[in-house]
A and B are shown apart, each in its own frame.
Chain A
Amino acid sequence: MNHETAHLVEILKDLDKPASYLAAARRLAAVADRGSLVPVRVFVLSSFTFELVVPYAAVECARRGLDAVLGVGPFGQLEQQLLAPDSALYAHRANVVMLAVRVEDLVPELADGFVGLANSAVDAAIDAYVERVAALARSVRERTAARVLVWNQPPLRRIAAGLADPALERSQQHAIAELNYRLARACAAIPGAVMFDAARVATELGTRQWYDAKLAALARIPFGGAAQLAVARQLARTLRAMTRPPCKCLVLDLDNTLWGGVLGEDGHAGIALGEDHPGSVYKSFQRVLRGYRDRGVLLAIASKNNEADVAELFANHRDMVLRPDDFAARQIHWNDKASSLRAIAAQLEIGVDALAFFDDSPVERAWVREQLPEVTVIEVPVDPSRYVDALDESGAFDHLVVTAEDRQRAEQYRTEIVRRDLERTSGSLDEFLRALQMKITIGGIDAQTMPRVAQLLGKTNQFNVTTRRHTETELQAMLDAGAIGLWMRVTDRYGDNGLVGVAIAMPERPERSELAERPDFRLDSFVMSCRVLGRRAEHALLHAIARRARQHGARTLLGEFIPTKKNAPAVGFFADAGFARDARPAWWRLDLAADADRALPFEVIEV
């Protein structure tokens, strides 16, 4: 662990009461080199005073690996900030703009005046709120390059009709739920808009802790100290999910993590795992872990144990919820856990930074944190009944959008294991690939495929020649500027791998103007998911984009290879695909006139 990381760890430890956060925020601001944190600039447009959240948010963001610079507009100035080109909003050059607009401030009749409202007036107020907030969100997207984070409405401080509210034909609480639903639907139609679930944060905390009458009276701050911290935590978690790819694999310890006690000492019958306390706590944790697996998170084991004992337990303990084949990798021996994590990453062909580590032992956690700072080490509470909260709140596996591919991933990795077995028994690679019965579909990027394309560009590290992380907005701008953008889907006898490849070629301005009609193309991005690595699918995609560039009149397709710590799997791609080295280092060129179709061991359909 280097000096800077050690200093940050020191600043961020022992956080509990507000004073400790305020002190940590000051020390954090004074750290000159925050290079290990991912920078993110956030600007808040709100209908109330938001400033008190800022130091808590800076600290919570740093705990999740983000260097957040937060700016706050004057409260109540929403459209004004967007309309004035010299406003603080534009000066901040935000990556994320948060809109925090309360019903109480925008349509107060839905708050205290609710009992006197006719149904039509409730509808009108909901419409007015949703339309104005959605218009603000659209305006942020049109006028800035930032993504927009939209608050929904927490439960109201008081219910106008009191006890009678649930029995009303139009209940106030239902009206707020309806407003939140309508707002979420409106935002779903705005690319680059993400919901901030303030309603959920307030519900977890309880309205009595959320609201603070004193701060509201003194400074138009609708929430108290505990709420400021809770908002900061949720904001940090959301920003992490917006900025960094989620972890792919959860590496679990066994003793005192999946069950209570030590298997090697207490034996099969002595460990705590079952329907009654304390075993029930571990059993329900295993159920949650299985849910993670079903969501597409890979599970792995790193345990210091006798492998035979563990195998016996898996085979014979009837309260084990997790089965051996729920784990994509297992490291059960007495070697150190940092080595186990490296071995797991290598076996799954993912980066070490895609691992999250969950171990009840603070010693093991500290060791891994020191040896492998890029691993997300989850702070595990002493009380096992709080394991679930710690895992959920770590945000290590947070996705802002759940795609169909995410739901299929667990299944895909399992079929991948079967595929590898087949690979071992097949003869040549081409024979193996033919036996896989692969079908490749290639098409142009459109509105429907855009979210998955951006997701793939955002998280693919290995087979990625330039590692450019374009947002949906940037991609659209590139396509509008004449780029060729293609996606690739791969299916085989074991199932649908989903959309697993993206290629984008930009027209290259020619040096001689008489050639302007026939620009050459340059591969801006070429990525493929590691799920289909080593199956020559990349050649089908390259071929398709080369053909389209040729149809545009191009004579050359340029390729660029930008090496990173992880993209070694793509290093030989251009040479393999028939590119020649360009005069410039790191650049390659493919003569489109000479490039002939190659025989590929699968069917390719272009749509």
Chain B
Amino acid sequence: MSDVDIRIRSVIAATFGVAPATITDTTSSDTIEAWDSMNHLHLVVALEAEFGVSFEPEQAVELTSVRAIADALGAVLGEAGGTAAAPRAAR
């Protein structure tokens, strides 16, 4: 598992209060009960801070599974110069 994948799982675990070990590639809003619309917005904010990126509204609504998040981050981080991009320091 790549560093990005590990960090995605740790953000999901923190946001929804689930154990990181229970999160797989197929984890999605359908498999986590706490993944409601308000917590989804928390997740978007937490991912943006973790990876120092900013999602567009259309992207943000589609981040409803581990795979979708990994794909979106791959695209955004790729544009920013690869997955090694330093995360923005959160305040």
B45, A225: Cβ atoms closer than 8 Å? yes
Band of interface residues on A? 20 to 34
Q: Per-residue 0/1 for A24-56: is the Cβ within 8 Å of any B Cβ (1 yes, 0 no)?
A: 001000000000000000000000000110010
**A-facing residues in B41-79 (Cβ within 8 Å):** 41-42, 44-46, 48-50, 54-57, 60-61
Complex Cα spacing A23 to B15, Å: 6
Contact A224 B57 (CB under 8 A): no
Contact present for A225 and B57 (CB under 8 Å): no
Q: What residue in chain A is nearest B54 (Cβ atoms)?
A: A214
Contact indicator A218/B61 (Cβ below 8 Å): yes
Summarize B's interface: helix, strand, loop or mixed.
Answer: helix
Answer yes or no: A139 CB below 8 A from chain B CBs. Answer: no
Asked if residues B57 and A22 are in contact (CB atoms below 8 Å), the reply is no
**B6 touches A (CB below 8 Å):** no
B37 vs chain A, min Cβ distance (A) = 8
Residues of A contacting B38 in the complex (Cβ-Cβ under 8 angstroms): 51-52
B89 to chain A, nearest CB (A): 8
Cross-chain contact A17 with B46 (CB below 8 angstroms): yes
Overall SS of chain A's interface: helix
Whole-angstrom CA separation of A219 from B42 in the bound complex = 12
In the complex, A96 has a CB within 8 A of chain B: no
Complex interface: chain A residues within 8 A of B14 (CB):
19-20, 22-23
- Inter-chain contacts of A257 with B (CB < 8 A): none
A221 & B41 in contact (Cβ 8 Å cutoff): yes
- Residue A18 CB within 8 A of the other chain: yes
- A209-230 vs B: 1/0 string, CB under 8 Å? 0000111011101001110111
* Chain B proximity of A202: nearest CB distance (Å): 14
B17 and A17 contact, CB distance less than 8 A: no
Chain A neighbourhood of B48, CB < 8 A: 225
Q: Indicate whether A16 reaches chain B with its CB closer than 8 angstroms.
A: yes
Rounded to whole Å, the gap between the CB of B38 and the closest CB of chain A is 5
Q: Nearest A residue to B61 by beta-carbon distance?
A: A218
For residue B39, which residue of chain A has the nearest CB? A22
Q: Considering the chains assembled together, what is the distance between the CA atoms of A50 and B61 in angstroms? A: 19
Which A residue's beta carbon lies closest to that of B10? A19
Contact B60 A226 (CB under 8 A): no
A52 contacts across to B, CB distance below 8 A = 38, 41-42, 45
- Interface residue from A17, A51, A214 paired with B49 (Cβ < 8 Å): A17
* Cα of A19 to Cα of B52 in the assembled complex, Å: 13
Taking the closest CB of chain B, its distance from the CB of A262, in whole angstroms, is 31
A17–B90 touching, CB < 8 Å: yes
B77-91 residues at the A interface, CB under 8 angstroms: 90-91
Which residues from chain A contact B54 at a C-beta distance below 8 Å?
214
A19 touches B17 (CB 8 A): no
A215 contacts across to B, CB distance below 8 A: 41, 44-45
Complex Cα–Cα for A24 and B24 (A): 23
* B-contact 0/1 string along A226-242, CB 8 Å cutoff: 10111000000000000
* Identity of the chain B residue whose Cβ is nearest the Cβ of A226 in the assembled complex: B91
Report yes or no: A22 in contact with B15, Cβ–Cβ below 8 A.
yes
Structural contact, B57 and A214, CB atoms closer than 8 A: yes
Known: A17-B49, A18-B45, A52-B45. 10 other contacts (CB 8 A): A18-B42, A20-B14, A23-B17, A52-B41, A213-B57, A214-B60, A217-B57, A224-B45, A225-B90, A226-B90
23 contacts between A and B (CB under 8 A): A16-B90, A17-B46, A18-B42, A18-B45, A18-B90, A19-B11, A19-B15, A19-B50, A20-B14, A22-B46, A23-B17, A26-B17, A52-B38, A213-B57, A214-B54, A214-B57, A215-B41, A221-B41, A224-B45, A225-B45, A225-B48, A225-B90, A229-B91
Closest 9 CB pairs of A and B: A23-B14, A225-B45, A17-B90, A19-B14, A18-B46, A19-B46, A26-B17, A19-B11, A214-B57
